[in-house]
Structure 1
Amino acid sequence: MSDLTIDSVATTILDVPLVRPHKFATTSMTAQPLLLVEVRTRGGVVGFGEGVVPGGPWWGGESVETMQAIVEKYISPVLLGRRVDDITGIMRDIERVVAHARFAKASVDVALHDAWARSLGVPVHTLLGGAFRTSVDVTWALGAASAEEIIDEAQQKLDAKLNFSFKLKMGALDPGEDTDRVVRIARALEGKAGVRVDINARWDRLTALKFLPRLAQGGVEMIEQPTPADQFEVLAELNALLPVPVMADESVQTPHDALEIVQRRAADIIAIKTTKCGGLKKSAEIAAIAKAAGIACHGATSIEGPIGTAASIHFACSEPAIDFGSELFGPLLFDDELLQTPLRYENGQVHLPEGPGLGVELNMDAVKTWTRN
């Protein structure tokens, strides 16, 4: 085994263009900024992690710029001179110098797992207990575009057998117009594909009480985070009211949040983003709480690049609690391929990459092309 001592930590910001604009409730993006975190050992092994948020700091308060500053100034000194297999101790010590900043911590957690697994010559999922499956279902997110655009894009995905369920972004339009738009889409896709919605915590209680039943009656099969993240009691009220599952996303960023959801019966599904949760280890803690309570888990996305997506695939394929599919489609939105061999998407699923570490190798020419000057 090579020397596992961490010799250096480096960061790089990329701005990767998207194949089309991706619209959220409050913003839209045409390129996705990524923070690559590189951990190198004295034995010459390199592990990569990825810091990424969905569309900027509006979601959780972090950005690639804040993540880079935190990793370089505060987290790197904790890593240097430590062994990459000391992940538990390292992440515990990081908590002592950096509060919150879970997206930044996730990038380091994944880089450590990648480097350790590569040092051992095994895939990351081995460190997580081993893969019990080799692929996971992928739902395609269609943004907040018009009904015509969305129906056309969904039909293209169905024809290519790439996806069989779709999630629509809501919250950017007048709630009545937005509801009519989504119901129209759900009816157009009825019998062909499942339709879900994500309101990104943008509706208040009264708006949700008025329009969510109409969505459920109109054919929407799942409703994600309709109201503000900290209003657990409102989410519980809506979950009890609606005949379709409610998924908590913004409301669950820590194991304690997951416990709150369980105790209040505030959701039927928890969206686990390895990024928002602070990495693979914290994601496993949240999954354990949900599994013990009989609550389903969904492998959610922050529109990660291939490094973050590969990490989430390893997690989803080694964690039985992820039993409500995934949205690990991020690299398909990118207008350039960052890997030497792309991740494999087919028949509505993404497949577990093979090989040591995350099982992927960056195309350094593409990385150089999109590195921020």
Structure 2
Amino acid sequence: MRVEGFTADGYDGVRQVFQRLLDDGRETGAGLSVWREGREVVRLSGGWADARRSRPWRDDTLVMPYSLSKTFVTLAALVAVRDGALDLDEPISEHWPEYGARGKETVTLRQVLTHRAGQPRFPDTAAGLDLLDARGLRDSLAHAAPEYAPGTSLGEHALTYGHLVDGILRASAGSTLGEVFHGVVRPALGLDAWFGVPDDSLHRVADLEYAHPDWPHRLHAAPWLRIPDGALDIERTNSRALRQSVFGAINLHTTATAMAAFFAHLTSEEGPVRALLGPRLHTELLTSQVTDHDEVFGTRITWTLGLVRDKGKIAKGGIGGSAAWWSLRHHHACAYLTRRLDDHARAAEIAAALGDDLAVVGED
């Protein structure tokens, strides 16, 4: 397949890997962006944006990257902290009384953002709810007992993260996750990214597809993604209804260039993230908060407030293979966003061409 875009001098190896992924059929539609020293040095698009292979992938193609979305849920929550609506370490129940029941009385926002609130999946009582029943899903979390005592174990809150933060924002700040993201976070960061794609951008959205028919059943994280039904069903995820809804844990729609640009400025003391949050919360966002075995990832991991961190990178990815990161060693940012739902081997090969190690970025 033809690859469109550009690479600066010294990045030919990255282009070769990207081209090979398309030629080998391991990729059918993806965008790749690399930023260094404040400018984009790689912007590549390849394959198709739709299942019928009629729309070429463009540099402005939007795609749903699953858990990479959580990064921006975190920022919305921290904006509320910045504004004094709540504190990272006070009980959520002080603002959301219905939530403070059945062992969740002392759960804090910090525990939610670091995936230690004890609600890594929706409870069985939510099994009959529709994927887009946001209120019903929030209420199911408020009324459920945690799976483990909050703060005692770790597991990425795979589908629940956005609904928990949305409930917290509604109760503490009187705003929804979508309102804070679109009214504050998105304009402050200049993001081409959407929770709820507007009508005039729907034509840019790529269709997700399975690399293998049984892909949803191969996932280590599958048990945490079964309720509500539909999060891995491409008929639902490709629907207009889901594209224009807010399902914070998974359904941000964005471009590779937007994600790489965000990570390129993530750690900067003069960057837009620090300007948005202020020095204290910017430091909190980037600081390692907890290291333990993450039951959903199935491996030992270090979480900041919503990001994965190790000696080489600060990163976030999602099931299906999309990932973005800032290289602490090489001081570049990269985003690889794909519509072909498979593991992270493709992004890992891109990372290797850049001298990075992409181990542990998302739930395979």
Give the number of the structure whose residues are more often strand, by fraction: 1
Provide the TM-score with structure 2 as the length reference: 0.30
Provide the TM-score with structure 1 as the length reference: 0.30
Which fold has the larger relative contact order, with Cα–Cα distance below 8 Å and residues 6 or more apart in sequence? 2
